[in-house]
Amino acid sequence: MDIKRILFGVPLLVALSFVVEAPALLQDTGVMGARPALAQRTRRDDKPKRKTRTVSSLRQPIYDKISKAQEKLEKPDERAEGIEDLRKLLDSKLTDYEEGIVRQIFGQIYIDQTNYKKAIGEFEKILTLEKVPESLTITSLQALAQLYLITEQYRKSIEYMNKWLAYQENPGPTPYSFLAQAYYGLEDYKNIIVNAQKAIDIAREQGLEVKENWWLLLRLAYFELGDMKKVAEILETLAVNYDKPEYWLQLSGVYSELGEEKKQLAAMEIAYRRGYVTTENNLINLAQLYLYHNVPIKAAWALEKGMKDGIIKPSGKVHELLGQAYLNAQEMEKAKKPLELAAKEQDDGDIWMRVGQVYAELEQWGEAIAPLEKAIASKDLKEPGYAYMLLGQANFYVDKFEAAKKALRKAREYKYTAKAARQWIAFVDDEVKRRKQLTAYYGGGQ
């Protein structure tokens, strides 16, 4: 079983949604202290005071021009004009604060156009401005972390996310899941584990939802590091909490890798009962597990239902498995047909032997002879001595004594059946002698 393929069929890298927006400038007349709405989001009122930062002014005329340009951006037929107005502003003499606001708007415009390279350039320029509000710096760091992740510049993404985290008092779990994704891009599995686990721990502490993708990152990392016990633990969590078909089936496969065979069957059986075992390979695998764990009748039921539902295509191998399941369950009548079909389809000596054994178990000795002869005639019978023994017994019970002795003499040639064959030959000779005596006695009496 290709565990890696079934575990990781889809990519895990999913960037966070962009939180950068064109700033909505405040409507009041006190514009000197106005800030973009987004830039205020990352601040906490109870956060320890930092060293005071000198912030340049936002002048009323510039405010008005930015505001009008933003209004044009919202109208498709005036959008190009709005962009041009903003470009002209950048060409004029602006304070750091004013330039930062305009560049933030351009950053979002480029994001909307998926021109991430230019968006990065705008936010990087904001970080070079000295007299801007701290909130604008924080917003730019967050935007750059995401943009570098999107453009697969993972080390840069990690660098800027860590810079953003340095400003945060209580960032919650999301930034750590973000870091885990960035480390996924670098195939740094140990750091994936550190950050994904931290995201999970913080979410639990804060009573927040633990995202499914965080578990998937952990699962991948532990798999790549060869820690299959941890992979099993995580799949147990995923299966119980998200109850998806792939998690139960993957869990069964991982238990197999760990040699935990009872758990392997248990996980597969749960998946089957939930209706998640819907492919031919998985149904056949389930049947084989039932046989291995000595529950043959369930193997037969699963195969019969799979064929009835059109999931399993009848074939020589399937018929053989079904016949063996019924044979092991001591359902001899039900074992006959699938085993005969399997023997015909595959022309396999050992399967013909099993057909003969089934008839022998049912004491249908005459019907046992033909399949046993076919088994012997094949070139792939593994232990022909037993077939000769059984053929000899079958012929004996239908009163074909010479045929019986001929088969038993052949069985005598094999070490593993030689002793039993000699005993049976003697038994057949005695029976022939006894019958002659009875014939002579009763015939003479007449």
pLDDT at 51: 59
- List the single range of 10-19, 93-102, 122-131, 209-218 with lowest mean pLDDT: 10-19
For the stretch 85-108, what's the b/e string if a residue is b when 16 or more beta carbons lie within 10 angstroms of its beta carbon?
Answer: bbeebeeeebbbbbbbbbbbbbbb
Structure tokens at 72: 């044009």
pLDDT at 125: 97
pLDDT at 53: 72
Task: Please name which of 144, 93, 155 lies closest in space to residue 117, comparing C-alpha atoms.
Answer: 144
Is this prediction's pTM over 0.75? Answer: yes
List, for residues 68-88, the tens digit of each pLDDT value: 999 999 999 999 999 999 999
Instruction: State the Cα–Cα distance between residues 416 and 414, nearest whole angstrom.
Output: 6
What is the CA 66 to chain-centroid distance, rounded?
51
Give 324's pLDDT tier (boundaries 50, 70, 90): very high
Structure tokens at 368: 């046992």
Instruction: State the Cα–Cα distance between residues 13 and 183, nearest whole angstrom.
Output: 10
- Does 136 or 51 have the greater pLDDT score? 136
**329 has pLDDT over 70:** yes
Instruction: State the Cα–Cα distance between residues 350 and 335, nearest whole angstrom.
Output: 15
List, for residues 262-287, the tens digit of each pLDDT value: 999 999 999 999 999 999 999 999 99
Residue ranges of domains in the chain: 1-42+56-168
CATH topology (fold) of 1-42+56-168: 1.25.40
Query: Any idea what DSSP says for residue 378?
Result: S
pLDDT at 52: 62
List, for residues 181-197, the tens digit of each pLDDT value: 999 999 999 999 999 99
- Cα-trace Rg, the chain: 39
Count of other CB atoms within 10 angstroms of residue 283: 21
List, for residues 367-406, the tens digit of each pLDDT value: 999 999 999 999 889 999 999 999 999 999 999 999 999 9
List, for residues 25-66, the tens digit of each pLDDT value: 322 222 222 233 333 333 344 444 455 678 888 899 999 999
pLDDT at 57: 84
Q: Rounded to the nearest 5°, which phi and psi values hold at 114?
A: 55, 25
For residue 105, what are the contacts with CB-CB under 8 A and spacing of at least 6?
Answer: 22, 23, 66, 69, 70, 73, 86
Burial class (CB in 10 A: 0-12, 13-18, 19+), 251: buried
Structure tokens at 56: 């340049």
The mean pLDDT of 301-311, rounded to a whole number, is 96
Q: Are 23 and 37 in contact (CB under 8 A)?
A: yes
List, for residues 337-370, the tens digit of each pLDDT value: 999 999 999 989 999 999 999 999 999 999 999 9
pLDDT at 288: 96
